[in-house]
A and B are shown apart, each in its own frame.
Chain A
Amino acid sequence: MVALALPAGPGLTARSAAGPAREHGVSLDTGLDRTLATAMAAAQAGDAEAYRRLLRACLPVVAGMARAQGVRPDAVDDVVQDVLLTIHRARATYDPGRPFLPWLRAITQRRAIDGMRRAGRRPREVHDPIAYEAEADGGPAPGAGLEARDRVRVLARAVAALPEGQRQAVEHLALGERSLDETAALTGRSKGALKVNLHRALKALRHTLGRDGPEADRAAADGADARERGTHDV
């Protein structure tokens, strides 16, 4: 079994991926290359542990090389896996008398190009200015945070306006995601009563929150709903 004592780290990946290294990159590259070459020679002989370590050591190196090649961040994982499969298939072609990294770099560059070609063949709308302008932004809309805060505030007021038993049922069962047993133990109410209270609370909330903004606010504030509808605690 070959033990890989890799001087790994982010800097190593970047330098290894960038080709001719500067500063200390040369010695790092040489050390890494020798280690990987030894591991690959052992893998050719059937040493699974050395092969496992080799492939794991290749992951950041290949990812760095793919990024340097211009692969988009969301496609790097695909390229890395293509490269791993190619390494597996091509392992008999590696000559341990030669450096390992150029062999790996050739595979990675080719698979990166294949990946970018595949991505380029998929239909995209970026060449159509109108479609580009009309494309919906996947991110949150402006003001989404304020709206979310408003919704939380209205919901909190509506829950607070519920009768005690119903409020407990909502807080523990729905918001707190506790079980019936836990809630029964906490509140001292029977499981059946909790179910009924939750059902009535949800019905009241649906009624309250179904109204438009200010009206819902008012209804939640004065707690009128439960009384209006005659929904009482059990």
Chain B
Amino acid sequence: MSERAPLPHDELVEALAGGLRPVRRLPSPALRALIWCAAALGAGFALMPFADLEALHLRMAVPDLRYAALGALLTALTATVAAFQTSVPGRSLRWTLLPLAPAALWVSASGLGCLRTATVPGVAPPEAGGCFAFLIGVSLPLSLALVWMLRRACPLRPNLTAALAGLAAAAAAAVLLVPFHPHDATAADLALHGVAVLLVIGVNGLAGGRLLTRGG
């Protein structure tokens, strides 16, 4: 039993064709992903004057920190591409697997850093809280920008696309956090990072999914 009485198909066809307006074809998903990544990179450059570049240089000399940063960067790039690909009907769902390997690198390198510093007492709560606030605060505008761009397409699985967008935004925020992160990853620190990232992905998956579901 249908919820509404179906219009005769011809009436619907006439209504759609009658109100037809020319549309500008969307650029390819890869190009749109590049545009968003460039915007996020621009935000990173804008924050650079406030970063301690000397400390950053020292931290990047440590392999696990370097690989964690690289993993986050690659996760941001690949999750962005995957989000834009899944927003277009007919594109393979295998694109969703693309960010898995970089995300594994990101998580495992961060975990290694955590093990290395396991004997060091946890960071002071204000610092960890600052990282958490940074991650959430930066992820929010990045997520909004990404969802706004994705809305122009037609994601057939809006929650999946929005979750990928959340992963991209959280990873990009983690990359932007690197120049401002004053210490190695500790268990408390990593747990807070993990919570922040999962929160961003979860909120995106739920709220973004609704935002990406337009009528019809």
User: Are A46 and B156 neighbours in the complex by a CB distance under 8 Å?
Assistant: no
Partner of B214, one of A44, A81, A89, A105: A89
In the complex, A84 has a CB within 8 A of chain B: yes
* A88 pairs with B16, CB closer than 8 A: yes
How distant is A16 from chain B, measured CB to nearest CB, in Å? 15
A17 shortest CB reach to chain B, Å: 16
Closest to A82 in B: B216
Closest chain A residue, CB of each to CB of B10: A56
Residues in B with CB closer than 8 Å to A77 are 2, 6, 9
A89's partner among B1, B3, B154 (CB-CB below 8 A) is: B154
Given contacts A78-B6, A102-B90, contact A46 B22 (CB under 8 A): yes
A84 adjacent to B17 (CB under 8 Å): no
**Chain B: which residue is nearest A119 at the CB level?**
B1
> A106 near B89 (CB under 8 angstroms)?
yes
Q: State the majority secondary structure of interface residues on B.
A: loop
Q: Report if A98 contacts B (CB, 8 A).
A: yes
Q: When the two chains form their complex, are residues B26 and A81 in contact, meaning their CB atoms are under 8 A apart?
A: no
Within the assembled complex, what's the spacing in Å between the Cα atoms of A75 and B4?
A: 11
Residue of B nearest to A78 (CB): B2
CB-CB contacts below 8 Å: A107-160 with B: 107, 110, 118, 122
Judging by beta carbons under 8 Å apart, are B20 and A59 in contact? no
B216 smallest CB distance to A (angstroms) = 4
Asked if A106 and B16 sit within 8 Å, CB to CB, the answer is no
| Bound CA span A92–B29, Å | 12
Residues of A within 8 A of B216 (CB): 82, 85-86, 88-89
Q: Which residues of A contact B2 (CB under 8 A)?
A: 74-75, 77-78
Distance in angstroms from B148 CB to nearest chain A CB is 15
Interface segment among A4-12, A47-55, A171-179, A210-218: the answer is A47-55
Distance (whole angstroms) from the CB of A107 to the closest CB of chain B: 5
Q: Does B66 contact A (CB under 8 A)?
A: no
Judged by a CB distance under 8 angstroms, whether A207 is at the interface is: no
Chain B 7-21 interface residues, beta-carbon cutoff 8 Å to A: 7, 9-10, 12-14, 16-18, 20-21
Q: Which residue of B lies closest to A110 (CB)?
A: B156
Q: Is the CB of B153 within 8 A of A90?
A: yes
Contacts of A49 in B (CB 8 A): 17
A53 → B minimal CB distance (Å): 9
Q: Is A43 an interface residue (CB 8 A)?
A: yes
Decide: A107 near B6, CB < 8 A? Known: A52-B17, A84-B12, A91-B23: no
Q: Is A186 an interface residue (CB 8 A)?
A: no
Select from chain B the residue with minimum beta-carbon distance to A53. B17
For the complex formed, measure the closest distance between the CB of A63 and the CB atoms of chain B, giving whole angstroms.
9
Q: Name A98's closest neighbour in chain B (CB-CB).
A: B90
| Contact A81 B90, beta carbon cutoff 8 Å | no
Determine whether the beta carbon of B20 is less than 8 Å from that of A51: yes
Q: Are A51 and B16 in contact (CB under 8 A)?
A: yes
Q: With A78-B6, A81-B12 in contact, is A51–B153 under 8 Å at CB?
A: no
Residues from chain A with Cβ under 8 Å of B9 in the complex: 59, 77, 80-81, 84
Q: Mark B57-97, 1 if CB is under 8 A from A, else 0.
A: 00000000000000000000000000000011111000000
| A48, B90: Cβ atoms closer than 8 Å | no
Whether the Cβ atoms of B89 and A93 lie closer than 8 Å is yes
Judged by a CB distance under 8 angstroms, whether B181 is at the interface is no
Q: State how many angstroms separate the Cβ of B100 from the closest Cβ of chain A.
A: 22
State A47–B22 Cα separation when bound (angstroms).
8
Chain A residue, CB-CB nearest to B16: A88
CB distance from B181 to the nearest CB of A (A): 39
* Cβ contacts A to B, 30 pairs, < 8 Å: A43-B20, A44-B23, A44-B25, A46-B22, A47-B20, A48-B17, A51-B20, A52-B17, A59-B9, A75-B2, A77-B9, A81-B7, A81-B9, A84-B9, A84-B16, A86-B154, A86-B216, A89-B216, A92-B23, A93-B26, A93-B154, A94-B25, A94-B89, A96-B25, A102-B90, A103-B90, A104-B90, A106-B89, A110-B89, A122-B1
Q: Which 6 A-B pairs have CB atoms at the shortest separation, nearest pair first?
A: A46-B22, A90-B154, A103-B90, A52-B17, A110-B156, A85-B216
